[in-house]
Chain A
């Protein structure tokens, strides 16, 4: 029995440690690391206004460096795709069913944006920010519009012009 119990304890400890993932860490003045519970963060800043540039989200896009220059062809394609597939819920000039993409590049990482477009359901299940956004926007779940990675990338390039 002992042989079985030891790995169980290790597993349990690991599970508990993993649960800490929902919290954010901060460095205090004295250099020590203090943990703030996630709930405290939420209550102060609405998800739509939170800056989460370090968060790449959950999904197939792991790392997406962007060129310094904006590709105008991609922007043109991205705008068209956005108008067809996204504009029913996202307006540039106002908060609508979902948040406006205006200024999104200052709030979210390219990877997070791509992952959210490509698999919103997974993001809402596993990404804290996506989950909080769903709650903030009245439970209106973002539709999976079956975009290809290339299409999502074009949309992202279009978003870069919306500062």
Chain B
């Protein structure tokens, strides 16, 4: 009975506390309600997140992988930038990945990741991403989370309306933001108008391996092609690009490209152009662009320079391209899950313009045109308009969908996400973002089947959201629960670089295919060794190749003599572990490159050019076992004219 009295007292005290607590909540707006929000993002230790989110890293050149709803950072995948953490772009195998027609470029500005689709739904095979600065498209494997392929896009500049994919991943599409002379030539800048071109590039994707190959380039008028999205469902076969600078200004665009009340959304019937090309249409143009492919079996990348591209003049394919007038320099160009609505967010406007695909087809059928631009028919704004969202916000940028008939649009200037209804254009909710939101992402939100539980808003400005870290702050992101009628702000988290767009998917779609090791018996690296008995050193003039193996916790060999100043020493290291999450690292004192991190079963090569006589150590950089500190070795470096023979050993 004592227990009962105790229990009752506790309950009463608890109740009083709760009631008092609630009273306080009324004053400061957090507390009990706050704790239920905390539960929505709390992923207990050892538990896993519901979804993956792949955020572009912007000027970091890389892609970051987060969990939703926790906002925990899982990985940074190097794509367009050298990455000392893994040795990407530093190892001999991956240097070719960053080759371009301009030579080795160790960096780019990664903007718009997009997950491969089948029948308009995410299929989790690959994720594509664009390099904005030196135009490139990358394909990243979602089994290894490694960049497997990068193709340079010729005749393009500011590769921004990229890398969006069609609904069966037939094409990854890359549009040019900065029109340029095609082909490039020495000419006065002020002759831009009517002379520069905006290339829209359709890159075919091989369904088995994902390999990319430029099918054709559409040489459009020299507008700025800003963003794009594919048609889906009934509009599959079309692609839509927002444009600005239809004024074709070449200076002070801030003013001069904001003169026209309406720019265009370009509607491209790519199926029609594909048919034209398949029947021998198009013009082959000399070009020079890199195609870099990483082979998982040899663990090596090769770079091939391609010398030709097939171009298509829009005038040669009548009925394939139309312009849809869209107010105020549209930025985002998004298509709803049913493929009916094409949403153009005029970034200088308060309202969002929604075009109807059906109306567009009807207007084309009726040949109701309002003139043309360089021969491309312009449709009447009123004929194609489905509706306009009177948002009450300012500066709409991007729209995603929840699959329940709602659209969510970010507003940069008024720093908010606005939820509105498709068909009625009625605004149903708005929530602030912190601050100046750019893109937003709902996992699957640009597919036929959104996984509409969470929304991630990615912001351009952080200011006071976190503890200050000097003048530069990482950009902030916010997670909202969008499962109810009203959006609910759940969580803030910092991102890395500048996330532009992002892509997300349910964990189940990806986690079960994630590779754990590379199998040693499938390692076809030309310098790999299948067992430590094959460890050896070969000299070819000044080139020295060290075939080395690593396993917890030693290198074979670990004592090497006969290396000379002026040699080029290649360490080819095979990690003989076959267990998940047991990489070994390698670093050599005075080496003019980064360490390399070698996954189980993988071979990687690190170059060292010894400059000083002496005995120099190397070691494993990844804490691999209780005896990690013992994982080291020595190399004796002798003068260039020395007669010391090559020799190597372990435990002798």
Within 8 A of A (CB), among B77-127: none
Stretch at the interface among A25-33, A38-46, A135-143: A135-143
B579 and A84 within 8 A (CB): no
Q: Which of A87, A143, A147 contacts B532 (CB 8 A)?
A: A87
Chain A residues whose C-beta falls within 8 Å of the C-beta of B554 in the assembled complex: 88, 97
Query: Chain B binding site: helix, strand, loop or mixed by DSSP?
Result: loop
B551 and A143 within 8 A (CB): yes
A88 and B531 within 8 A (CB): yes
Within 8 A of A (CB), among B560-598: 576-580, 582
Q: Which of A87, A89, A140, A146 contacts B579 (CB 8 A)?
A: A146
CA distance A85 to B601 in the complex (A): 10
Chain B residues whose C-beta falls within 8 Å of the C-beta of A139 in the assembled complex: 626-627
Inter-chain pairs besides A84-B531, A88-B551, A146-B580, 12 sampled, C-beta below 8 Å = A83-B531, A84-B520, A87-B532, A97-B554, A139-B626, A140-B627, A141-B552, A143-B577, A143-B579, A144-B578, A145-B577, A146-B517
B651 and A89 within 8 A (CB): no
Q: How many residue pairs, one in A and one in B, have C-beta atoms under 8 Å apart?
A: 53
B533 and A87 within 8 A (CB): yes
Closest CB-CB distance, A131 to chain B, in whole Å?
14
A contacts with B, residue count (CB < 8 A): 17
Cross-chain pairs A/B with CB under 8 angstroms, 14 sampled? A84-B520, A84-B521, A84-B530, A84-B576, A85-B578, A87-B532, A88-B531, A88-B551, A89-B551, A138-B627, A145-B577, A146-B516, A146-B578, A146-B579
Chain A residues whose C-beta falls within 8 Å of the C-beta of B531 in the assembled complex: 83-84, 87-88
A96 and B626 within 8 A (CB): no
CA distance A83 to B521 in the complex (A): 11
Name the residue on A nearest B549 (C-beta). Answer: A88
B contacts with A, residue count (CB < 8 A): 24
Chain A residues whose C-beta falls within 8 Å of the C-beta of B516 in the assembled complex: 146
CA distance A85 to B533 in the complex (A): 11
Chain B residues whose C-beta falls within 8 Å of the C-beta of A138 in the assembled complex: 627
Name the residue on A nearest B3 (C-beta). Answer: A1
CA distance A145 to B577 in the complex (A): 6
CA distance A85 to B579 in the complex (A): 11
Chain A residues whose C-beta falls within 8 Å of the C-beta of B556 in the assembled complex: 88
CA distance A87 to B553 in the complex (A): 13
CA distance A88 to B557 in the complex (A): 11
Chain A residues whose C-beta falls within 8 Å of the C-beta of B532 in the assembled complex: 87-88
Closest CB-CB distance, A59 to chain B, in whole Å?
16
Closest CB-CB distance, A149 to chain B, in whole Å?
15
Chain B residues whose C-beta falls within 8 Å of the C-beta of A96 in the assembled complex: 651
Chain A residues whose C-beta falls within 8 Å of the C-beta of B521 in the assembled complex: 84
Contact with B along A75-89 (1 / 0, CB 8 A): 000000001110111
B552 and A143 within 8 A (CB): yes
Closest CB-CB distance, A31 to chain B, in whole Å?
45
